[in-house]
Amino acid sequence: MDDALSSGRTGVSVLYLEVKRQLIADIQSARVAPGGALPSESELAKRFKVSIGTVRRAVDELVAEKLLIRQQGRGTFVGRQDRARFMFQFFKIAGRDGSREFPTVRLHSFAKSRASLEEAQALKLRGTPAVFRIHNVLTLKGRPVIHDHIVIAAAMFPGLTKTIFERRDSTIYALYQTAYGVTIVGASERIRAEGCDELTAQLLDLPGGTPVLRIERVALTFNQQPVEYRISKVDTQDVDYVARMDPT
């Protein structure tokens, strides 16, 4: 990589984006493992044959995207899909009083079956291949509040079993990352209100047809590749869906 173009705006943009792509490739390939330290900016500049400023711009964007974490005096590390990140980036349910807590998760069922056409489309799968189908109940303040139905492609998570899923010691996304090298970097969501179905009513201890919030999420890894199709049914009697919009 040549930094000769760095004197022009177009050259800088091309160079830093290429550095960013290379760093993402390092994360994807586990060249730098989750929680592992990135080489120093001077070492990266030497490796990529660019200026430190070009490296810094690429790293700054990855920090803003939560893929990297800076720790003052220690360096820059590949972000883990731990509870703190899950709560900050993906869990948007808060108490009516503004309180937030990590939910207690109980596995209701774990099965392998064929994807429906809707699921295959959401996950961009060809045909209707095998998927793992998972139902979880999430509890807040001792009360069941969320019924999650999660669908993931079996081919992306070979060897996954109910035991492995149940015995994870952190978030589901941490399991994806540490056991299968699949890092969730973002998600798209669609939200609407609907009456709860029989299973949701049973799991959340609600009368049939009670209004719930339906959150349809497609979780994405690098290059906008779908990893997980999730439908969450939320009893909003005591909680709200809270989304933060940062200024641009």
pLDDT in tens, 92-141: 999 998 899 999 999 999 999 999 999 999 999 999 999 999 999 999 99
Q: What is the pLDDT of residue 5?
A: 41
**Mean pLDDT, range 162-182, rounded to an integer:** 90
pLDDT at 7 over 90: no
- Measured CA to CA, the distance from residue 95 to residue 87 in angstroms comes to 13
Q: Are residues 87 and 33 in the same domain?
A: no
Q: Are residues 113 and 165 in the same domain?
A: yes
At residue 24 the predicted structure's pLDDT band, cuts being 50, 70 and 90, is confident
Q: Are residues 185 and 168 in the same domain?
A: yes
- CATH number for the domain that contains residue 64: 1.10.10.10
Specify if 246 maps to a domain: no
Q: Are residues 93 and 190 in the same domain?
A: yes
Q: What is the pLDDT of residue 86?
A: 75
Q: Are residues 119 and 210 in the same domain?
A: yes
Place of tokens 């984006």: 17
Q: Are residues 87 and 71 in the same domain?
A: no
At residue 163 the predicted structure's pLDDT band, cuts being 50, 70 and 90, is very high
Greater model confidence, 87 or 34: 34
Cβ neighbour number for residue 32 with a 10 Å cutoff: 17
Specify if 90 maps to a domain: yes
Q: Are 231 and 219 in contact (CB under 8 A)?
A: no
Q: Are residues 67 and 183 in the same domain?
A: no
pTM: 0.81
Q: What is the pLDDT of residue 13?
A: 65
Specify if 16 maps to a domain: yes
Provide the domain limits for residue 155.
83-241
Specify if 38 maps to a domain: yes
Q: Are residues 74 and 160 in the same domain?
A: no
Q: What is the mean pLDDT of the chain?
A: 89
pLDDT at 12 over 60: no
Cα atoms found within 13 Å of the Cα of residue 125, Cβ hemisphere only:
23
Contacts 24+ apart (CB under 8 A), 187-195: 187/90, 187/217, 187/218, 187/219, 187/220, 188/217, 188/218, 188/220, 189/215, 189/216, 189/217, 189/218, 190/215, 190/216, 191/215, 191/216, 191/241
Q: Are residues 61 and 182 in the same domain?
A: no
**The one-letter amino acid at 248:** T
- What is the number of structural domains in the chain? 2
**The one-letter amino acid at 210:** T
Greater model confidence, 191 or 63: 191
